[in-house]
Chains A and B, each alone.
Chain A
Amino acid sequence: DAGVTQSPTHLIKTRGQHVTLRCSPISGHKSVSWYQQVLGQGPQFIFQYYEKEERGRGNFPDRFSARQFPNYSSELNVNALLLGDSALYLCASSFWPGGNEQFFGPGTRLTVL
């Protein structure tokens, strides 16, 4: 079975632009979470979705938004990009949003110039 997949692998944008990152969870998993990992730090929670509804939001500005589709895949959108948004964006999937083991994708490396 395929693991969590993310696209694109790498992305280079300039300040002020908009970006959309995509994630497909493991088959059967209905919960998707997004994390931001800045170089040298542990990942920081951005959003969690379950059954197409937002179940949690981390301490990120409104420039960050997400959604989950009927097939449980998810998109993370970031508007008005800042240099500080440069990071590895990780998607995790699990059966449900509680205590299940979470499985991560390979990440999308976003560079903002």
Chain B
Amino acid sequence: KQEVTQIPAALSVPEGENLVLNCSFTDSAIYNLQWFRQDPGKGLTSLLLIQSSQREQTSGRLNASLDKSSGRSTLYIAASQPGDSATYLCAVIGAGGTSYGKLTFGQGTILTVHP
């Protein structure tokens, strides 16, 4: 059974800091890994998708890496801003068996960026 863990559970930083969010998963049989952002009470916004054959993806101030063999991904946010405050969720899509096509999520990292 796939399990996804995110560390830290919460993070509070001053504006302008560079920060790293961590995600680990137990089963390396994945199609891809997706990072999402969720504002309170809202739906999920897709930030980055990394295919299992890729090592990293970049979008603006965001960079996500994937080490499939070790079951780890990191989301790097450069020059954080108060508008980045949200919950960040990591999810993997299974490549086979009962996990096929299914997103398995971590519990999220709650990020607060202070002005």
Q: Which residues of A approach B to under 8 Å, CB–CB?
A: 4, 6, 31, 33, 35, 40-45, 48, 55-56, 58, 88, 90, 92, 97-99, 101-107, 109
The residues of B that contact A105 with a CB separation of less than 8 Å are 43
B55 within 8 A of A: no
Q: How far is the CA of A2 from the CA of B108 in the complex (A)?
A: 27
Nearest to B49 among chain A residues (CB) is A101
* CB within 8 Å for A98 and B101 given contacts A42-B4, A42-B89, A42-B106: yes
Contact call A42/B105, Cβ cutoff below 8 A: yes
Query: Contact at B46–A102, with CB atoms within 8 Å?
Result: yes
Chain B interface residue count, Cβ-Cβ cutoff 8 angstroms: 28
Once the chains bind, are B44 and A99 in contact (CB under 8 Å)?
Answer: no
A106 touching B103, Cβ below 8 Å: no
Tell me, in angstroms, the Cα distance from A84 to B39 when the chains sit together.
Answer: 23
With A99-B32, A99-B101, A106-B43 already in contact, 10 other A-B pairs whose C-beta atoms are closer than 8 Å: A43-B89, A43-B105, A44-B105, A45-B102, A45-B103, A45-B104, A92-B44, A102-B93, A103-B46, A106-B42
A-B pairs, 4 with minimum CB distance: A99-B31, A42-B105, A97-B101, A104-B44
Once the chains bind, are A102 and B100 in contact (CB under 8 Å)? no
